[in-house]
Amino acid sequence: MQVEYRVDLRPHHTFGLPVHAAAWVELTDAARLPEILALPEYDPATVLWLGGGSNVLFGGDYAGLVVHLAHKGIAAEARADGRVAVTAQAGEIWHDFVQHTVAQGWYGLENLSLIPGTVGAAPVQNIGAYGVEVGEYIASVYCFDVDTQQFVTLDAAACRFAYRDSLFKQEGRGRYVICAVTFVLDTVFAPRLAYGDVAAVAAEIAAGRAIGAADVAAAVCRIRQSKLPDPKVLGNAGSFFKNPVVDAETAAALLAQHPTLPHYPQADGRVKLAAGWLIDQCGLKGFAVGGAAVHDKQALVLVNRDHASAADVRALAQTVQARVAEGFGVALEPEPVWLAC
């Protein structure tokens, strides 16, 4: 296994910050993962298991070993119930995988088109968009348990999927390295069109035909491209903050004052608020600190506009949080994982 030193991390995370990894190794076969634990550079306290780098923020140079999970492969098995179990290795690129499922006639993931990152990262924050969360389609996650040094299969219940959250972001963080994910997908297409403009854009693309999965995927791509910056062009980590969930009383008070505030009642009685709207109302679209800025088309996204440093991003995020707290009394929690370096 080849270890490289002082590796430029710019191509390996979507925010494109000028940071380096002290040591770097590429994993192209999950079965060889245990060998990493024997490397002199390996320290369980500082190792970073990295996928596409679309949901991490480096606070500076990374002092530990970075392991790039790059192993690929997709296998499918028909199930007795007519659905299909599809297992994808962690290093598969998420969007390419979604396109592959749609082309094969395996349905469920089309609303999650164009989300940056890898298959292995998808369960960590339970990626979600346009009314679908990936956890709804995950049957199990195959992991390496660093504590017991065994490969284990965790079923969906054990993964504890919640809004932008899972076991892997909580107490399982640092313990379970995701090696592969098994999805159970439909073979009969049932479009999920309830969110925002998806139904209208998909109908426009279908142009009179019955809406198919490829139309929904194309609609989601079109909507995302209209507001979300392409990380290859403008560094970013997608939504920078989670949409805050507040109690019913707080939501009622805010809505009395701001009737147009987009809000989504939750099953437990609490209410999710659109953080992008709150930031936008503070007049922060385009607001910059150094080279980091609030995206001018979607205020929930912070971008690397011009050679931003990690410090610029941190200062910008703090300003946004302070302004929203002042204006609305709502605390915003960052969505990506901040890595103290």
What is the set of active-site residues? 164, 239, 335
Which CB sits closer to ligand EPU, 179 or 299?
A: 299
CB of 1 to ligand EPU, least distance (A): 32
Give me the 274-313 binding string for ligand EPU, x by CB under 6 A, dash otherwise: x-xx--x-----------------xxx-------------
Chain centroid to Cα 83, Å, comes to 26
Is there binding between residue 262 and ligand EPU (CB under 6 A)? yes
* 3-state class percentages of the chain: helix first, strand second, coil last, to nearest 5: 30, 30, 45
Report the residue from 212, 238, 244, 291 that binds ligand EPU according to the rule CB under 6 A.
238
Which CB sits closer to ligand EPU, 118 or 298?
A: 298
CA distance from start to end of the chain: 25
Report the residue from 192, 222, 242, 258 that binds ligand EPU according to the rule CB under 6 A.
242
In this structure, what token pair is assigned to residue 101?
């499922």
Residues 123 and 118: their CA atoms lie apart, in Å, by 10
3-state secondary structure of 164: coil
Tokens 């710019």 correspond to 10
Q: Which stretch binds ligand EPU (CB under 6 A): 69-77, 153-161, 236-244, 324-332?
A: 236-244
CB of 190 to ligand EPU, least distance (A): 18
Is there binding between residue 244 and ligand EPU (CB under 6 A)? no
Which CB sits closer to ligand EPU, 21 or 115?
A: 115
- Return the residue nearest ligand EPU (CB atom): 238
3-state secondary structure of 190: coil
Would you call 331 exposed, middle or buried from its count of C-beta atoms within 10 A (0-12, 13-18, 19+)?
A: exposed
**Subset of 71-130 contacting ligand EPU (CB under 6 A):** 129-130
The enclosing H or E element of 231 equals none
Q: How many helices (H) and strands (E) does the chain have?
A: 8, 20
Residues 6 and 134: their CA atoms lie apart, in Å, by 35
CB of 52 to ligand EPU, least distance (A): 13
CB of 92 to ligand EPU, least distance (A): 19
**Number of alpha carbons in the 13 Å side-chain half-sphere of residue 203:** 6
Is there binding between residue 239 and ligand EPU (CB under 6 A)? yes
In this structure, what token pair is assigned to residue 169?
């972001």
Q: Which residues pair with 258 in a beta bridge?
A: none
Which CB sits closer to ligand EPU, 274 or 315?
A: 274
Size of the site for ligand EPU (CB under 6 A): 19
Residues 145 and 158: their CA atoms lie apart, in Å, by 14
Report the residue from 34, 44, 73, 196 that binds ligand EPU according to the rule CB under 6 A.
196
Which CB sits closer to ligand EPU, 193 or 228?
A: 228
Residues 320 and 243: their CA atoms lie apart, in Å, by 14
Is there binding between residue 216 and ligand EPU (CB under 6 A)? no
Task: List interacting residues with ligand EPU (CB under 6 A).
Answer: 129-130, 195-196, 227-228, 238-239, 242-243, 262, 274, 276-277, 280, 298-300, 335
